[in-house]
């Protein structure tokens, strides 16, 4: 997540990542104070199940990216149904208020948009991220998820 503004969205991303077996990179600065209390509130009891890496800035993040940077953007060049993902892709979500600056957009190896109804501005960043992550994992055979164990519905199912 590039300079996220809203702790609740970070919490949603952390929970999704924990459940689906992927890590989360947070690129600072963030729009909220990050500490034990914010971490506990945002991530609930899922934090022990997700690898979180914080980066002091874009350059620190960019220096350690192993594969393609795939930017999720409303100005994406590739609609999600046409996108193809690789195991070492890194999905990049922009900040809720500003997305990413032009230099970050230009650096992305690919950009993907989620098709939406005309006249609507955008999805919530965490929801868009979950949609794209789900498609990427589907294409890759759901690595990190135990497909051999039967689905056990939670209390709300």
**What's the pLDDT at 148?**
60
> pLDDT per residue over 16-30, tens digit each?
999 999 999 999 999
Total of domains in the chain: 1
Instruction: Residue 32: name the closest of 60, 55, 9 by CA.
Output: 9
Q: Which domain holds residue 26?
A: 7-139
Q: What mean pLDDT do residues 51-61 have?
A: 96
Residue 7: HSE in the Cβ half-sphere, 13 Å Cα cutoff? 13
Residue 1 covered by a domain: no
Q: What mean pLDDT do residues 98-127 have?
A: 95
Residue 45 covered by a domain: yes
> Are 133 and 22 contacting, i.e. CB atoms less than 8 angstroms apart?
yes
What distance in Å separates the CA atoms of residue 16 and residue 140, rounded to the nearest whole number? 17
Residue 73 covered by a domain: yes
Tokens for 152, please give them.
């056990």
What distance in Å separates the CA atoms of residue 95 and residue 4, rounded to the nearest whole number? 5
Residue 2 covered by a domain: no
What distance in Å separates the CA atoms of residue 42 and residue 12, rounded to the nearest whole number? 7
Instruction: Residue 24: name the closest of 40, 3, 46, 1 by CA.
Output: 1
CATH number at 30 reads 3.40.1280.10
Please state the pTM of the whole predicted model: 0.88
DSSP category for residue 111: E
**What's the pLDDT at 101?**
96
């Amino acid at each position: 997540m590039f300079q996220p503004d809203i702790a609740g969205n970070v919490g949603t991303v952390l929970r999704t990542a924990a459940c689906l077996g992927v890590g989360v990179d947070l690129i600072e600065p963030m729009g909220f104070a990050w500490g034990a209390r914010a971490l506990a509130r945002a991530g609930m009891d899922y934090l022990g199940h997700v690898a979180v890496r914080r980066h002091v800035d874009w350059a620190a993040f960019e220096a350690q990216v192993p594969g393609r940077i795939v930017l999720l953007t409303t100005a994406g060049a590739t609609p999600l149904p046409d996108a193809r993902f690789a195991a070492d892709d890194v999905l990049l979500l922009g900040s809720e208020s500003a997305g990413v600056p032009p230099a970050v957009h230009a650096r992305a190896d690919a950009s993907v948009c989620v098709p939406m109804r005309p006249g609507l501005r955008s999805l919530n960043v965490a929801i868009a991220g979950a949609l794209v992550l789900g498609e990427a994992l589907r294409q890759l055979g759901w690595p990190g998820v135990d497909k051999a164990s039967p689905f056990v519905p939670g209390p709300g199912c």
